[in-house]
Every structure is written in C-alpha cells, then in structure tokens.
Amino acid sequence: MSLPLQTSEAPRSALRRVAGASLAGNAIEYYDFSIYGLAAALVFPQLFFPDNDPFIATLATFGTLAVGYISRPLGAVVFGHFGDRIGRKPMLVITLLLMGVATLAIGMLPTFEQVGIWAAVMLTALRFLQGIAFGGEWGGAILMAFEYAPENRRGLFAAIPQVGPATGALLGNAVFLLVTLLPQDQLMAWGWRLPFLFSFVLVIVGMFIRLKIAESPEFQATKDQGRDVKVPIASVLRNNMRAVLLVAGGFLGFGAFSVVVMTYLVGYSQKDMGIPASTMLTFTMLSFAIQIPMILFSGHLSDKYGRRGLIIIGSVAAIVAIFFMFWAVSTAQPLLVGVAYAVGFGWLYTICYGLQPALFADAFPAEVRFTGMSLGYQLANVVGSGFTPMIATWLLHSTGNLYAVPVFVAATLAISMICLVRLAVLAQARKSQEGLFDPRESVPVAAN
C-alpha cells in the first residue's frame, strides 16, 4: 500500500486565486477554440475553400477544425511531461501564450483570394498550434484547482475550470454574434477577423492573473518526498493505460455532443432550415449561461453523494437531450429550438459533464496525473470532437436522414457511460490503496 501524499491545506485566499486563474485561462482558450468552430461553420468555407462545391468546402473546413483536435494528444504528452516534472504553473503560462499567438495570427491571415491554397495551409498550421496549446491547458487548469482543494470539495473545485468552456464559448458566441450583424460583404471582408484579434487582449489579462498564483501543493509534495518520475509518459503507458483509455472513452460522447450542437447544428440550422445565424448564436449563448451554475452544481453533488449514480443519470439525460435538440431543429421553429438548447445543452448535458474532471484526476497518482488525464481526455477529443462534424456531414449527405447524426452521438454517449462507471470503480480502488476510501461510492473495491 502506498502512503498518501502529506500536504497542508491551502489558505482560502490562495484557493480562490487558483480557482480564478484556472477558470480565466481555460475560458480564454475555449474562447479561441469556439470562435474557430463558429468561423468554420459560417465563413471559412467561402474564404479559404471557395473553388469547391458547398459540401466539399464544408467538409474541408471541418477538416481544419479536426486538425486542432488531432494535435491535442501531442500537447498533452509534451506539456504533461513538463507539468509532472517541472510544475503545473509554468505550463499554464506557456500554453496560454501559445494559444494567444496562434489565434491572433489566424485573425491576420490572407484569404484564398489573396494567396491561393497557401491560405488554407497557413490556417491548418495555426490550427495545429492551437491544438497543441490546448492539449496542455485543460489538464493543468483542472489540476491546479483539484490539487489545491480539500479532499471533500474536489468535485466542486475541479468543476470551476470546467466552467471555462461555457464561459469562453459564451464570450466567443457573443463576439461572433456582434460581427454577424455587419452587412455580409463587410463580415466576409474584415468583420470575421475581429473575434480573433480580440483574443490577444484576453490573453494579456489571463497571463497577469496566472503569474500571481503559486505552484500546486500536491505537486510540490511529490517533489519533496521524491515520488516524481523521470519519464511520466513511460510510467503512464506501463502502469496507467487502463485509466487513460477509460478517460478517453468517458469523454468520447460528451465531446461529440458539444461539438455537434456548437458547430454542426448552427451551420445546418442556418443553411438548411432558414434560421438566421444570429438566432442560433443567441440560443447557444443562452445554453452556455445556464451551463455555468449547472456545472458547478454537478461537481457539488458529486462531492455530496458520490459520482457513480450521477454518471448513469447524466448519461441517459444527455442521450435524451441530443434527440430532443435535433427534433426541435427539424421543425424550423426558432422558439422550440431555443427551448431545446436551453434544456438539452444548458441543463441535461451538464449533469454528468461537471463531475468528470475530479473523476479523471482521481484515477491517477499525483506524480503522473497531468500526463495521464490530459492524454486520455485529448484522445477522446480527437475522435469524439475532432471528427464528429465531418462524420455528421457525411452521415446526412449519405443517408439523407437527419436523425442518423443523433443516433451516432447517442452511441458514443452509451460508450461513455460504461467507461465512466468503470473509471469510478478504478479511481476508488486507487484511493483505497492510499487509505482514502470514500464511503459514498458504495462498497470498497479491491485494487487490481
């Protein structure tokens, strides 16, 4: 049996600063990712792939979207290695700066009309850098909040940076909504650049906040007690691969769900159902505003009642939600679509989503936690998020049946439910080894 790490409880003021810094940086990075997704759905096909027919142009644009997800595991390995070796804080500063520079550069790119195919090449390269930055950001932000928090509040505090996607996407949708109000010729000429240029202002603010926080006390304890490992990825592949795969499977469906409703449905509703883009962006913003307190509530409930029951309830709720949202869009009634986004994406989706960061972190020992959870999460994003818009486009084009898309998403959510339940068992087994058995999680489970 390994002994638990001995750490002193952080002062409340430090805990608040760390939670704020984790949320701020994660929100900024998700802002960058969300504005790219919106641009990919609304303007990039015409700006960077105008020679192709609409179907091929959309598919090509979503291909560049996928590149940002494909490069995430590389970022997870690189920043995870140094995050487990050097510290969480330095990696959070570097990832934020890298993301900011890449996003700013996208906002300054020439279009196909100006430089031809090189426009798409440069767009793809910058998207690749965005993915590397994000591959290290998410895990580091979660761990700073998780490792600072008391044991009985880790679900809530790990959920705080998990609010970052909703906060960043809410801001991204708000900024994009403003530029879509421009006349179409001005939007296509220069208006689309404004959200990307605005990102660098946010990065400067985020850097200022992050430079003021101290290193994670649990990471510092691993260094002080000589429990750090020289090559974290080798240790993870040798000892924790099961946990990595369960994390990947656990987020698979939730990544597919979010990217479908944030990008694919927005574009489909505008082009095929005649709902204005500004209306869809408003609905998406509404759902993100609802998500913020609901994600925190999910983390709190997991602290109070345990995680396994919420996993099952939340996964089933998400499956119901995805069919409800596609049905609402198929009616082409804006009011009904708005209700579906608020209920489906704003509430039902979050029941299981908010508890996941603490569950993922709990599955790994502190000395390889950054690498392990980041790798699993980003592998899920490659398949569940990166390729889903292309798969959705292909499914509808091949079958002519809109409901082929939610069937695919529901299948990935079912896989996630199974993986998350098994991951909860695995995490409890690991904690039991360290004398941290949680009575809320049913009965003790022997470690494998």
Question: Mind listing the pLDDT tens digit for each residue in 411-448?
Answer: 999 999 999 999 999 988 877 776 554 545 544 433 33
What is the distance of C-alpha 4 from the center of its chain?
A: 30
Cβ contact 413:319 at 8 Å: yes
Cβ contact 291:383 at 8 Å: no
Q: Is residue 443 situated within a structural domain?
A: no
Compute the distance between CA of residue 224 and CA of residue 226 in angstroms, rounded to an integer.
6
Say which residue, 446 or 280, is predicted with more confidence. 280
Give 259-274 pLDDT, tens digit per residue.
898 878 888 888 888 8
Give 366-388 pLDDT, tens digit per residue.
889 999 999 999 889 887 777 78
User: In the predicted model, what is the mean pLDDT of residues 19-41?
Assistant: 81
Q: Is residue 1 situated within a structural domain?
A: no
Tally Cβ neighbours within 10 Å of residue 278.
13
pLDDT for residue 275 is more than 60: yes
Compute the distance between CA of residue 153 and CA of residue 424 in angstroms, rounded to an integer.
17
Compute the distance between CA of residue 149 and CA of residue 343 in angstroms, rounded to an integer.
31
Q: What local confidence, expressed as pLDDT, does residue 348 receive?
A: 97
Say which residue, 204 or 386, is predicted with more confidence. 204
pLDDT for residue 354 is more than 90: yes
Q: Is residue 222 situated within a structural domain?
A: no
Say which residue, 410 or 10, is predicted with more confidence. 410
Q: What local confidence, expressed as pLDDT, does residue 243 receive?
A: 96
Please state whether 9 falls in left (phi above 0), alpha (psi between -120 and 50) or beta. Answer: beta
Give the model's confidence band at 353: pLDDT under 50 very low, under 70 low, under 90 confident, else very high: very high
Q: What local confidence, expressed as pLDDT, does residue 376 receive?
A: 93
Q: What local confidence, expressed as pLDDT, does residue 11 receive?
A: 63
Q: What local confidence, expressed as pLDDT, does residue 60 receive?
A: 67
Q: What local confidence, expressed as pLDDT, does residue 3 receive?
A: 44
Give 330-352 pLDDT, tens digit per residue.
999 999 999 999 999 999 999 99
Total number of domains constituting the chain: 1
Q: What local confidence, expressed as pLDDT, does residue 214 receive?
A: 79
pLDDT for residue 121 is more than 90: no
Q: Is residue 442 situated within a structural domain?
A: no
Q: What local confidence, expressed as pLDDT, does residue 436 receive?
A: 55
**CATH assignment at residue 307:** 1.20.1250.20
pLDDT more than 90, % of the chain:
33
Q: Is residue 6 situated within a structural domain?
A: no
Q: Is residue 86 situated within a structural domain?
A: yes
User: In the predicted model, what is the mean pLDDT of residues 62-66?
Assistant: 69
Q: What local confidence, expressed as pLDDT, does residue 54 receive?
A: 67
Q: Is residue 438 situated within a structural domain?
A: no
Q: Is residue 375 situated within a structural domain?
A: yes
**Structural domain boundaries, residue 140:** 12-217+230-433
